[in-house]
Amino acid sequence: MMALSSIIVGLAIVHTSMAAISFTIAPFNTTAGVGQTATLACIVAGKTSESVKWRKTDNTPLTVDTTVVGSSRYQVVGAYNLTISTVTTSDEGGYICDAGTLSKTAYLSVVDLPTNVSLYWSNPPVPGLLANLTCKATHANPAPNFAWYKDDRLYTVTPVYYTTGTTGYVDAYSVLPVRLTTTDQSSRFRCQLEYTGLSRAMEADLVVVLSSVGPIQTRNIFVIVFGVYFAFLLWQ
């Protein structure tokens, strides 16, 4: 009887160990821009002899533990996030992380970021007068959402939003009405482009240089977004 009890206890211990694998962070829906590196989360705890595998929802195998069995653009980082380098629109779709008998699916959305983002005054920023600050995202698919910040704080004035179309590649605009005072000299406005799952995709900044009534002067300045230079206008 003692020997039998030992065997039962031993089996119970093995059974508990096999059931211990779990998701610390399960895969969740993610968005990436064309040309970027996408990361699909899958953090696993309690792994023993089980394999952690990534596959597409059409059952195309991608990785087994840290071994890549698909394209070299796939890599396993940590335990066991999937990265996809140089993302294209064909990468959009569902991805499944199998951890032992556990499975979780996440959807990768791919956006083609605008070719340019510009920020400019549509009329001179004169103290006491209403001026429109326009942010334009050129050739975007899909159209982004816009968030406005003043001196790194969310600016709550409601902007006007419109696009050149409703589907496919569009130019998107956000027009923010601003009534400035003399204390706004050298304030900084930031226009931030956002997508679901990609909160700070691109941005442009503008430093307020108050103007008196008269001809509007312009000069080009640059911001760096994802390592690419984008020019935009700053009214003086």
The per-residue pLDDT for 80 is 96
165-176: buried (b, 16+ CB within 10 Å) or exposed (e) per residue? eeeeebbbbbeb
Partnered with residue 206 across adjacent β-strands are 189
Phi-psi region of 19 (alpha: psi -120 to 50; beta: other; left: phi over 0): alpha
Q: What CATH class does 116-235 carry? A: mainly beta
Taking the whole predicted model, whether its pTM rises above 0.75 is answered as no
Beta-carbon contacts of 226 under 8 Å, excluding residues fewer than 6 positions away, are: 33, 36, 113, 202
| Per-domain residue ranges of the chain | 20-111, 116-235
Same fold, 20-111 and 116-235: yes
Which pLDDT band, with edges at 50, 70 and 90, does 129 fall under?
Answer: very high
20-111 in CATH: which number? 2.60.40.10
Tell me which long-range contacts 162-165 makes (C-beta under 8 A, separation of at least 24).
Answer: none
Q: How far apart are CA 58 and CA 105, in angstroms?
A: 12
Query: What tens digit of pLDDT does each residue of 178-216 get?
Result: 999 999 999 999 999 999 888 899 999 999 999 875 443
